[in-house]
């Protein structure tokens, strides 16, 4: 398996495969795969998914994948790193601050594996196709405002993916258990995780037209966890994502996630994961450096 490195914030390329020549590999960056033509099987983390023209896959860092080609295939590959989600020093007039976009798109990064195979519905396939071909044109022609237009196209693609993932998961839960409201509750919590007022138990109860006691008992019965513990665990999962894929300091992350201070965050993190945030970040840095050395061998 080989690990590929990326040193630009966004890289768009066309890849053609007539057979399985890619080999099993993983990335330390995000990758969006759009099937321009062809068909075959896409293996992601040992799961096999058939693909055809117009299908879309999202790979997050450390996903291991490869292709088995049935009909010669062309892919549009969109690679983007954590620097894509932050201001570019010295080029702020060309690249907007997108930290708020990252917050909204975290739902994608934490839930995309819950959707099997292609993640775009038939309804959105046409608009997705138009955007991908426009993105290819922008990268090939490099006209004025190229960077900001490219960035906005990618944001639109990611937001379409977010909507499709949310709809797919919601439809699944409604089909499996139409009366169960847990998906609605957890989705609402995830969508408002940065607003501590909205996710207070009394305000959650009001939103779902239940008493605080009733909502708490219902949540505990359905998940085996209290609402408070669920919120804490989800926040810590987001913090792990921030530590891996952003340049925010631990203090900045603590403030953003509504912890009292860095010490409070470290204490909570260690209680759940058995290590402090500082230890986790050091391990991630060491892992990234090791992967980089392997790539250069």
Closest CA to 231 of 198, 208, 264: 198
Mean pLDDT in residue range 51-71: 89
Whole-model pTM? 0.74
Task: Give me the pLDDT at residue 247, please.
Answer: 73
**Model confidence pLDDT, tens digit, residues 270-289:** 999 999 998 998 887 776 66
Instruction: Give the residue extent of every domain in the chain.
Output: 2-175, 182-294
CATH class of 2-175: mainly beta
Ranking 48-52, 75-79, 253-257 by mean pLDDT, the lowest is 253-257
> Partners of 66 in the beta sheet?
43
Q: What percent of the chain has pLDDT over 90?
A: 38
Kindly report the average pLDDT of the chain as a whole number: 82
- Cβ atoms 85, 246 nearer than 8 A: yes
Confidence bin at 99 (pLDDT 50/70/90): low
Architecture of the domain whose range is 182-294: Orthogonal Bundle (1.10)
**182-294 and 2-175 share a CATH fold:** no
Element (H, E) at 286: helix 277-295
Bigger pLDDT: 254 vs 93: 254
The full length of the chain comes to: 297
**Model confidence pLDDT, tens digit, residues 111-156:** 766 666 788 888 999 999 999 999 999 888 878 888 888 888 988 8
User: How do beta strands 56-59 and 47-51 pair?
Assistant: unpaired
- What is the C-alpha separation between 12 and 217, in angstroms, rounded? 49
Q: Token pair for residue 45? A: 């983390």
């Amino acid at each position: 398996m080989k690990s590929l490195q990326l040193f630009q914030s966004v890289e768009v390329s066309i890849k053609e495969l007539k057979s399985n020549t890619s080999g099993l590999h993983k990335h330390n960056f995000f990758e969006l795969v759009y099937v321009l033509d062809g068909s075959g099987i896409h293996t992601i983390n040992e799961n096999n998914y058939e693909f055809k023209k117009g299908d879309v896959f999202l790979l997050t860092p450390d996903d291991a994948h490869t292709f088995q080609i049935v009909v010669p295939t062309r892919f549009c590959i969109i690679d983007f790193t954590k620097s894509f989600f932050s201001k570019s020093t010295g080029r702020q007039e060309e690249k907007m601050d997108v930290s708020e976009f990252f917050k909204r798109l975290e739902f994608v990064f934490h839930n995309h594996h819950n959707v099997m195979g292609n993640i775009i519905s038939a309804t959105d396939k046409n608009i997705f196709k138009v955007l991908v071909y426009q993105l290819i044109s922008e990268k090939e022609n490099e006209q004025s405002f190229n960077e900001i237009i490219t960035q906005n196209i990618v944001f639109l693609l990611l937001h379409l993916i977010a909507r499709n993932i949310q709809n797919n998961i919601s439809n699944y839960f409604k089909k499996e258990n139409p009366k169960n409201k847990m998906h609605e509750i957890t989705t609402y919590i995830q969508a408002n995780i940065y607003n501590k007022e909205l996710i207070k138990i009394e305000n959650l109860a009001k939103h779902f037209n239940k008493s605080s006691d009733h909502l708490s008992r219902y949540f505990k019965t359905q998940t085996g966890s209290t609402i408070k513990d669920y919120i804490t665990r989800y926040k810590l999962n987001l913090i792990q994502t921030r530590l891996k894929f952003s340049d925010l300091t631990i203090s900045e992350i603590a403030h953003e996630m509504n912890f009292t201070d860095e010490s409070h965050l470290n204490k909570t993190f260690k209680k759940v994961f058995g290590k402090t945030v500082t230890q986790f970040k050091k391990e991630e840095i060491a892992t990234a450096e090791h992967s980089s050395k392997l790539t250069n061998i």
